[in-house]
Amino acid sequence: MTETVEVNQREADAMALVKRHVPWAVGAGVIPVPGVDFAALVAVQMTMLSKLAKHYELPFRKNAAKSVVVALLGDVLGSTLSGGTVSLAKMVPVVGTIVGVIALPAFAGAVTYSVGRVFVSHFEAGGTLLDLDPAALRAHFKTEFEQRAGKDAQA
DSSP letter (8 states) at residue 93:
T
DSSP string, 23-57: HHHHHHHH-SSTTHHHHHHHHHHHHHHHHHHHHTT
Residue of 98, 78, 70 whose CA lies nearest to 86: 98
pTM: 0.79
One-letter amino acid at 61 equals: R
How is the chain split into domains, by residue range?
A: 2-154
Residue 111 to residue 80: CA distance in whole angstroms: 11
Q: What is the pLDDT along the chain (155 residues), one digit of tens a residue?
A: 556 667 689 999 999 999 999 999 999 988 877 778 888 888 999 999 999 999 999 999 998 888 888 777 766 655 554 444 555 555 555 556 566 667 778 888 999 999 999 999 999 999 998 888 877 788 888 888 888 776 654 55
